[in-house]
Every structure is written in structure tokens, then in C-alpha cells.
Chains A and B, each alone.
Chain A
Amino acid sequence: MAISGTQSQRGGTHVSAAEAAAAFERRETRTRWLLSAPALITLAVASIGPLLIVLVYSFLQKNPNGGVFWQFSTDAWFNVILQRDIFDDTLQFADAHLSIFWRSVKLSMGTTVLALIFGFPTAYFIATRPERTRELWLFLITIPFWTNLLIRTFAIQEVIRNEGIVNSLLLWVGIIDAPIQMMFTDFAIMMGMLYVFLPLMVLPLYASMEKLDFRLVEAGYDLYATRLQVLRRVIIPLVKPGIIAGSILVFIPSLGAYVTPRVLGGGKSLMLGNLIELQFGQGRNWPLGAALSMTLLCIVMVALLVYVRKTSRQGGAHG
């Protein structure tokens, strides 16, 4: 009797305990979803939702007066790389698009490489400063990072314009007798992007260099490595995550750059961002603009995926 009594009592608490725990967990998860709701709704309305609409638009028929006809079509995606000849209806590569694609990739890679060449020594320099001044140097890199991109582009424009500082100076000294045309060239765009995105290279590089254990560098020297060998065989492999992070962080916004090529490239030197805008403006080909946007987004996502893969593998090696 007594035994069966405790048995049933035990069974009773067993069930209610498990149920109560599950109910508690459900409540907790619901609360967390509710707390996230305002942020999620805002993002759904003003970021994620519109992106899905772009995806839909890329599969619609263009309305030559702007906008779309609600009719399924793969023309836009087709037109990203191919075009039909107006006269003989044969398929050709869309040279205009492809050359802009190619220029975007080329300029972005060029910017990334330049940023690495300048950024690596700069990050190293900051990381090897004494504790006190390191903060100040880092602050000096951070300031341009948070200041207006348009103003920084404007500042660069003032330097390289035909009537700008560089040309005025060269003319005044007498090295040249006509201003060098730098504005509205690929060079100008690359300079501008290097200028505005350089901090994005320096900051992650610094983050991994700050963690660098200099006893490893000492060990390198102890084992007869020269400075260059220590750099190549010890330092660079150790800060590789920073190099990857910095390169991706410069490459992605370069590829999608809009303001810098618009201001410094004028109408002549277009990049992907300007090509997209063109389709929504004068081009009046919204579906093509949408398809181009999705293409850009895909390239960026692939780059991010590579980044996540690389860094998570790095993390896995540590754990």
C-alpha cells in the first residue's frame, strides 16, 4: 500500500516536472521571439521583403515606360550576359554589361591588393606601438572609417581634379604644362575606393596582429630566420585570418560601390552599382536592374560564404 502510494506520487511529479520544464522552455522561446519582433518587422519591411520583391521583378517583363508587366519572363536574366542582335536576331554576349562586370571585378581586386599592400604594414605598425600610443593610432584609423563616405570622396576629388592640388602643384613647379587628366578614369575610381575602404583592411588586420604572440617571432629569429623570412614564414601565416577578413571586407563594398564611381568616374567609367542604377533610371529596364542586383548579391554572398568557411575552419583548428 505505502509502496504503491509513493509509486503513484512519484509518477505524478515525474510527468508534471517534465511538462513544466517543456512549458517553461516554450514560454521562454516565445518571449525571445516577441522581443525580436520589432527589429524583425522593420527589417522585413525595409530590407528583406523588398529584396524578395527584387527577386520577383527579375523574372517579370519590362515595361518600357518604367516598371514591369506582371508576366513571367527570363529575359532579364538572359540579358545579364547575352543579348539578341537587333538586326539578325542572333545571340551575342552583352559586351556592354560584361565589360562593366569585368571592370568592377578588376577595380575591386586592384583596390583590395592595394589596400593590402598599404594596410598590412600600417596594421603591423599600429600593433607594434607601445600600449599607450596604440590606442591613438587606432583611433586615427577609425575616424575616417566613421566619417562620411561622400565627403571623403569629395576630398579625393579635390586632390586629383584638373584644377586640384596635385595638378596645380605640378603645374606651378613646372613639371607638366598641362594638367594630367585623372578624374573620370579607372585610376580615379581605384584611388577613391582605396581611400575610403582602407580602414576596412587595417582594422581586421590589426585585430589579428594584436593577438600575435611575439615569442613566436623571437623563436623565428632564434632559428636563424632573417626579417623577411620571419615575415613570410611566421607572421603572415599567423595573421592569415586577418588578411582574409580584410580582403573580403574591402572587396565586397568595392564591388557594390556606387557613390565613388559616380563622383570620380563621372558617366564614363561605370561600375556594377551604376549599371544597376541606370536600369532603374534612363534604361527603364527594371527587370534587368533587378537581375543585375541579384547577380551582385550572389557574388557577395559567395564571397561571404568563402569567408565564413575560412574563418570557421580556423576556429575549428583552435578548438
Chain B
Amino acid sequence: MSTAAAAVEAKNVSKIFGAGVGEVRALDNVSVTIRQNEFFTLLGPSGCGKTTLLRLIAGFEMPTEGSILLEGEEVAHLPPFKRPVNTVFQNYALFPHMSVAENIGFGLEMLGKPKTEVQQTVDAMLRLVRMEELKHRKTSQISGGQQQRVALARALAPRPKVLLLDEPLSALDYKLRKDMQLELKRMQHETGITFIFVTHDQEEALTMSDRIAVMSQGNILQIGSPDEIYERPADRFVADFIGETNFIEAEVIERIGEDGRIRLPSGVAVSHKLASNAGVGSRVTLAIRPERIDLVRADGETHLKGKVDNIVYFGTDTTFHVGLDSGQSVTVRVQNRRGHQEILQVGDVVGLTIAPEAMQILRD
């Protein structure tokens, strides 16, 4: 046992909805450890099980199998009102018949805290979310962004050990969402509470999180810091889901220990570290980010060669779609500070070079 217990630990958790033909396995033997004071994000497309995992931690659902530990204590079968965990709901779920202050004070009141303490905490929370002047409004009389802040204040007021956020920013417009991302980061920092954040927005996940778990079809595919997830995606799904990626097939032609050589579709061979199971002759998939590819003259030394099919201007950068001889299309993104791409035109033949560390070999 580690000395400081993890904030939340899910061990071999499965959740099955329905039975028989209609059976849906929302979570399939998932294990994850979330540390104290971290901003942890569950990222994945809708239906991947991220919200189910959140609801299991909150106590709104019970796992079919496995256990959930909160600071080392098994809570899987405690009802939600006995768990020191609070949730910010996707639709906020503010009580429409209560004022802003009554909403925020609700949890403390239920915990049986004395009136004066409730009052003080409510005021402190209103200051934290900068909503002092709307204290006595009905929740139906405030804007969406303000409702969001009230929901946040309400969930933070009882000082939970873990705060769960279920896509709380999805109903806000773009500008407000950007502001709230920073606000959330600030509040997590100020309160020191562990945040578990659920989203399907990869950009949101990358900018806010300390660590991210990427989920798909009831499984966690990869857990890591934002740059680990982005730079070294473990498999095709992660690479594809986060950012834009080119997938290029290559063949292992040589291998000594971990070092080896692979052959690209163009026939060019490059040195690369190899996973243990990739023997000579086996095929591997490389994930290459569009901004990690350089456009060079076709008659120089290149990794791949192709013809420019399409040029799309994006302001900060320009995207080139290059058709390789193999028929595959590769996306290349170039920052708009150099001048040379302006002379490139659709139909030009170009060379592509890629730094070896930018070629990420994916798990099968």
C-alpha cells in the first residue's frame, strides 16, 4: 500500500446495462488510479463509457463487477448521499424553486451544518465564482454561464474530496467556454480539490488536464499527460481521436535488439526503435502528425515523394494534401511564416521529410 492513498481508484470495474439481447457493456474491466489534487480528464466519444465511470464514482450507478475506492475506502455500494463526492451536472440540475444562495447552501444544509456556517460558506463560494450580486436571484433568472458558476459553487461548497464534472462546458458558447476553462483551472488550483472532468472535446482535455484517460467502447486505451497522449499515442484510435494524424504503413526489414530499420512505402529505409513483437517482415503502422512533416524539394533527400493535390489556407497555417505514389494521401501542415510554400501549386511534385522521433509506431 502506498502511504498517501489515491483520491479515487477503480479496480476491474465493469458495468452492464440491460440483460439478454439488449445487454450493453458500458464499462469492460476498467482500472484507473486518480491521484490527489490532480485535474484528471476522461476523454472519449459519446458512448465510450466515460460518463458511466463518473456516475459509478458519484454513486448514481452501481458497478456490475469490481470495486471503487475513495481515498482507500471501498464506496462502490454507498448511496450518493453518503459519499464525500460532488458533481457538476451537464445540464447543471439547479433546483428551479430555490434561489442561487439556497442552491449553493443545499449540500451543507443536508450535512446538518449550523446556519451561520452555511451562510459563511455560501458567501465565500459566491466570491469564488464571482456571483455575489446575484445571491437572491432564482436560478431561472440568470444566464447559462452564470448557472454554470452556481452549479460549480454548489458542488464545491461542501468541500468534497473529489469534484466530478460531467461535460459542464458543453452548453456554453465558444468564448464563454474558453473563459470557463481557465476559471476551472484557477478554482482547482485555489481549492486543491481533485477534479475529474468528463469531455468529448480533445482540445478542452489537452488544455486543462494534468492527466488524461482516453476511452473507447468501455475501455481505457491510454492514460497519460496531455503531451504524452498527443505525441506518443498508444494506438490508432487515440492517434485518430486526438488531433489530426497521418497513418503510414511500413515494413520491418532489420532488427537488432530494440533497434531496427523499417521501410516506408516509398522504399526509403529509416532507423527506428521497435516494440518486442515486431519481427522482421512484419508490418507496422506509423502515426505522423501533419505539423511534423516538412515539405522539401523533390530532387533532394526525402522520406516520401508525392504530388500536391490540394492546398487549404487556414490563416496561421496552410494545409497541403499530398498524394503519394502509393495512392495514399498525406496531410502536411506548414506554419505561415516562411515564404517558399507560396510558390507551390497544385500539381507540383514535392518531397516530404519526417524526423524519426515524429514517427510513432502504434500498438496493434
Contacts and interface: CB of A to CB of B under 8 A. Distances in A.
* Contact present between A and B (CB < 8 A): yes
Interface of A: 10, 13-14, 16-18, 20-21, 24
* Most central of A16, A17, A20, A21 by chain B CB within 10 Å: A17
Contacts of B65: 13-14, 17-18
A14 B77 CA distance: 12
B11 A17 contact: no
A21 B11 CA distance: 17
B1 to A, nearest CB: 12
A10 B76 contact: no
B30 to A, nearest CB: 13
B62 A10 contact: no
Main secondary structure of the interface of B (DSSP, over half): strand
13 contacts: A10-B66, A13-B67, A13-B76, A16-B77, A17-B65, A17-B67, A17-B76, A17-B77, A20-B62, A20-B76, A20-B77, A21-B62, A21-B64
List 7 A-B pairs, minimum CB-CB distance, nearest first.
A13-B67, A20-B77, A14-B65, A21-B62, A17-B65, A17-B63, A10-B12
Contacts of B63: 17, 21
Interface in B1-47: 11-12
Interface in B46-90: 62-67, 74, 76-77
Contacts of B11: 10, 13
B62 A14 contact: no
A18 B77 contact: no
Contacts of B77: 16-17, 20
A17 B74 CA distance: 11
Contacts of B64: 17-18, 21
B62 A13 contact: no
A14 B12 CA distance: 9
Contacts of B66: 10, 13-14, 17
Given A10-B11, A10-B12, A17-B76, A24 B67 contact: no
Contacts of A14: 65-66
A315 to B, nearest CB: 19
B277 to A, nearest CB: 23
B87 to A, nearest CB: 20
A21 B12 CA distance: 16
Contacts of A17: 62-67, 76-77
* Most central of A16, A20, A21 by chain B CB within 10 Å: A21
Contacts of B76: 13, 17, 20
B52 to A, nearest CB: 14
B39 to A, nearest CB: 28
A106 B63 CA distance: 61
A10 B11 CA distance: 8
Contacts of B62: 17, 20-21, 24
A8 to B, nearest CB: 13
A13 B76 CA distance: 10
Contacts of A10: 11-12, 66
Interface in B139-171: none
Contacts of A13: 11-12, 65-67, 74, 76
B42 to A, nearest CB: 21
A34 B12 CA distance: 36
A21 B19 CA distance: 13
Nearest to A15: B65
A288 B251 CA distance: 90
Nearest to A12: B67
Contacts of A18: 64-65
Given A17-B67, A18-B65, A21-B63, 8 more contacts: A10-B12, A13-B76, A14-B65, A14-B66, A17-B77, A20-B62, A21-B62, A21-B64
A18 B64 CA distance: 5
A13 B9 CA distance: 14
A206 to B, nearest CB: 30
